Structure 1
Amino acid sequence: MYQLETFQSGTLAYSKAGHDKGKLYVIIEADYEYVYLVDGIYKKIDSPKKKKIKHIQIINEIPESIKECINSGQKITDIDIKRAIKQFLK
């Protein structure tokens, strides 16, 4: 069984299965069976992608810009998500 702490909000993850295989997302929420993923472009904060935990590969890194938003209590926006993914891919 997976530990829920592993799927912390703001963590980067790759899709391992489905039509979006290989796509990079940011986890915004998790429960014991699913994670909710956003990329800021196609899957926005308002309508995240629901994906089974076994179908993602966690990258144990939270981008600095996302970490700042979480620590300061600010709401994470789609622009923050897009920027964080773009910086990670550079």
Structure 2
Amino acid sequence: MELEVGLLVQSIAGHDKGSYFFIFKEEAEYIYLVDGKYRCLDRPKKKKKKHVKSLVWEKQSPGDKIREKLKVTDEEIKYFIRCFKREEQVVRR
């Protein structure tokens, strides 16, 4: 799956391995990630594209707002990721 702005991804390398982020901005081989908690919209994390994997999510998310360049808050992002983690844990059990 091609990485694009607004997509939910999981880090697969680095000290944040296993963490979830939204792609906020994209450049050549780098993407800028936000999670609303440690990496806010005003201070996104720069990471190479090859160090993340995309996650499929069918429901509406803050990523849709990011993609459409609408106003999104750190709280919305943080809340969504927290809910996503809970739902993923229920599915794995």
Task: Name the TM tier (shorter chain).
Answer: 0.7 to 0.9
Q: How does 1:42-61 map to 2 (within 5 A)?
A: 42-61=38-57
Distance 1:44 1:63 in 2: 22
Q: 2:35 matched to 1:39?
A: yes
Q: Which runs of 5+ in 1 are unaligned?
A: none
- Give the aligned length: 86
Give the 4+ runs in structure 1 shifted more than 6 A. none
**One-letter amino acid of the structure 2 residue matched with residue 34 of structure 1:** Y
By how many angstroms is 1:82 displaced? 0.5
Cα RMSD after superposing both structures? 2.3
By how many angstroms is 1:69 displaced? 2.9
Q: Which runs of 5+ in 2 are unaligned?
A: 87-93
Taking structure 2 as the reference length, the TM-score comes to 0.77
Contact 2:5 2:63 in 1 (8 A): no
Q: How does 1:55-74 map to 2 (within 5 A)?
A: 55-61=51-57, 64-67=60-63, 69-70=65-66, 74=70
Name the SS of the counterpart of 1:64 in structure 2.
coil
Q: 1:76 aligns with which of 59, 64, 72?
A: 72
